[in-house]
Structure 1
Amino acid sequence: MTQSPVVGPAGPPDPVRLGERAARTLTAELARHHGPKTALVVGATPDSVVLAVALGALLPGDTLTLVPADGTDADRLREHLTLQGQWVADRVRIVDSLAAADPADVVVAAEPFTGSAEAARATLEELGKYVGPGGVLTVAVPALPGRTPDAAAELDRQDALFGVGTDLVLRNHPPVRVHRLRFTPADIAVAARLAPAYRPSSIPLTRNMHIDSNGVAAAGIALGLAALTRAARPKSKLWLVPALAAAPVAAFFRDPERDIPEDPAAVVAAADGRVLSVQRLPDERFGDGEFLRIAVFLSVLDVHVNRAPVAGKVADYFVADGGFAAAMKPDAEHNVAAYTVLDTDHGTVVVAQRTGLIARRIVHRAPVGSLLARGERFGLIRFGSRTDVYLPADAADPVVAPGDKVVGGSSVIARWR
Structure 2
Amino acid sequence: MTQSPAVRTVGPRGPVRLGDRAARTLTTELARHHGAKSALLVGVDAESAVLAAAIEALLPGDTLTVVPADGTGAAQLRDHITAQGSWVADRLRVVDSVGEADPADVLVLGQPLTGTADEARSTLDGLNKYLTDGGVLAAAVPALPGMTSGATAELERQGALFGVGADLVLRNTPPVRVHRLRFTPADATVAGRLGPAYRPSSVPLTQNMHIDSNGVAAAGIALGLAALTRAARPKSKLWLLPALAAAPVAAFFRDPQRDVPDDESAVVAASDGRVLSVERLRDERFGEQEFLRIAVFLSVLDVHVNRTPVAGKVVDYFVVDGGFAAAMKPAAEHNVAAYTVLDTARGTVVVAQRTGLIARRIVQRAPVGALLAKGERLGLIRFGSRTDVYLPADAAEALVGPGDRVLGGASVIARWL
Q: Decide: shared fold, TM above 0.5.
A: yes
Residues 113-152 of structure 1: matches in 2 within 5 Å?
113-152=113-152
Deviations 1:189-227 (A, max 9, x none): 110000001011222111000110000000000000000
Aligned to 1:59: 59
The answer to whether the 8 A contact 2:353-2:387 is kept is yes
Aligned to 2:41: 41
The answer to whether the 8 A contact 1:3-1:70 is kept is no
Instruction: State the one-letter code of the partner of 2:52.
Output: A
Change over 3 Å in CA distance of 1:63–1:395 after alignment to 2? same
Aligned to 1:295: 295
Change over 3 Å in CA distance of 1:243–1:13 after alignment to 2? closer
Rounded Cα–Cα distance in structure 1 between residues aligned with 2:2 and 2:362 = 45
After superposition, the CA RMSD in angstroms is 1.0
Aligned to 1:241: 241
Instruction: State the one-letter code of the partner of 2:123.
Output: T
Offset, 1:146: 1.4
Rounded Cα–Cα distance in structure 2 between residues aligned with 1:145 and 1:40 = 30
Residues 123-272 of structure 1: matches in 2 within 5 Å?
123-272=123-272
The answer to whether the 8 A contact 1:215-1:254 is kept is yes
Rounded Cα–Cα distance in structure 2 between residues aligned with 1:93 and 1:20 = 23
Rounded Cα–Cα distance in structure 1 between residues aligned with 2:203 and 2:366 = 18
Residues 45-124 of structure 1: matches in 2 within 5 Å?
45-124=45-124
Offset, 1:16: 0.7
Aligned to 1:334: 334
- Structure 1 window deviating more from structure 2 (213-222 vs 202-211): it is 202-211
Rounded Cα–Cα distance in structure 1 between residues aligned with 2:306 and 2:11 = 39
The answer to whether the 8 A contact 1:8-1:120 is kept is no
Rounded Cα–Cα distance in structure 1 between residues aligned with 2:178 and 2:9 = 20
Aligned to 1:24: 24
Rounded Cα–Cα distance in structure 1 between residues aligned with 2:200 and 2:304 = 17
Rounded Cα–Cα distance in structure 1 between residues aligned with 2:13 and 2:347 = 53
Rounded Cα–Cα distance in structure 2 between residues aligned with 1:346 and 1:123 = 38
Instruction: State the one-letter code of the partner of 1:211.
Output: I
Offset, 1:9: 7.9
Offset, 1:3: 5.2
TM-score by length of 2: 0.99
Q: What secondary structure, in the 3-state scheme, does the structure 1 residue paired with 2:286 have?
A: coil
Rounded Cα–Cα distance in structure 2 between residues aligned with 1:202 and 1:355 = 23
Instruction: State the one-letter code of the partner of 2:224.
Output: G
Aligned to 1:362: 362
Residues 384-395 of structure 1: matches in 2 within 5 Å?
384-395=384-395
Rounded Cα–Cα distance in structure 2 between residues aligned with 1:61 and 1:2 = 28
Instruction: State the one-letter code of the partner of 2:384.
Output: G
TM-score by length of 1: 0.99
Rounded Cα–Cα distance in structure 2 between residues aligned with 1:283 and 1:87 = 52
Change over 3 Å in CA distance of 1:2–1:71 after alignment to 2? farther
Change over 3 Å in CA distance of 1:80–1:361 after alignment to 2? same
Offset, 1:398: 0.1
Structure 2 unaligned segments of length 5 or more: list them.
none
Instruction: State the one-letter code of the partner of 1:131.
Output: L
Change over 3 Å in CA distance of 1:233–1:9 after alignment to 2? closer
Offset, 1:48: 0.3
Question: 1:318 aligned to 2:318?
Answer: yes
Q: What secondary structure, in the 3-state scheme, does the structure 1 residue paired with 2:284 have?
A: coil
Aligned to 2:280: 280
Change over 3 Å in CA distance of 1:318–1:13 after alignment to 2? closer
Structure 1 unaligned segments of length 5 or more: list them.
none
Rounded Cα–Cα distance in structure 2 between residues aligned with 1:15 and 1:378 = 34
Q: What secondary structure, in the 3-state scheme, does the structure 2 residue paired with 1:126 have?
A: helix
Rounded Cα–Cα distance in structure 2 between residues aligned with 1:51 and 1:10 = 20
Q: Tell me the matched-pair count.
A: 417
Offset, 1:7: 2.6
Rounded Cα–Cα distance in structure 2 between residues aligned with 1:345 and 1:149 = 44
Offset, 1:105: 0.2
Deviations 1:99-154 (A, max 9, x none): 10110000000000000000000000001010110000000000001111510010
The answer to whether the 8 A contact 1:3-1:67 is kept is no
Instruction: State the one-letter code of the partner of 2:146.
Output: G
The answer to whether the 8 A contact 1:3-1:69 is kept is no
Rounded Cα–Cα distance in structure 1 between residues aligned with 2:400 and 2:50 = 44
- Structure 1 window deviating more from structure 2 (4-13 vs 154-163): it is 4-13
Aligned to 1:410: 410
Rounded Cα–Cα distance in structure 2 between residues aligned with 1:188 and 1:239 = 52
Rounded Cα–Cα distance in structure 2 between residues aligned with 1:149 and 1:341 = 37
Instruction: State the one-letter code of the partner of 1:231.
Output: A
The answer to whether the 8 A contact 2:9-2:111 is kept is no
Q: What secondary structure, in the 3-state scheme, does the structure 1 residue paired with 2:15 have?
A: coil
Change over 3 Å in CA distance of 1:9–1:27 after alignment to 2? closer
Rounded Cα–Cα distance in structure 2 between residues aligned with 1:364 and 1:7 = 32
Rounded Cα–Cα distance in structure 2 between residues aligned with 1:262 and 1:202 = 25
Deviations 1:377-413 (A, max 9, x none): 0100001000000000000000000000000000000
Rounded Cα–Cα distance in structure 2 between residues aligned with 1:100 and 1:327 = 57
Change over 3 Å in CA distance of 1:286–1:243 after alignment to 2? same
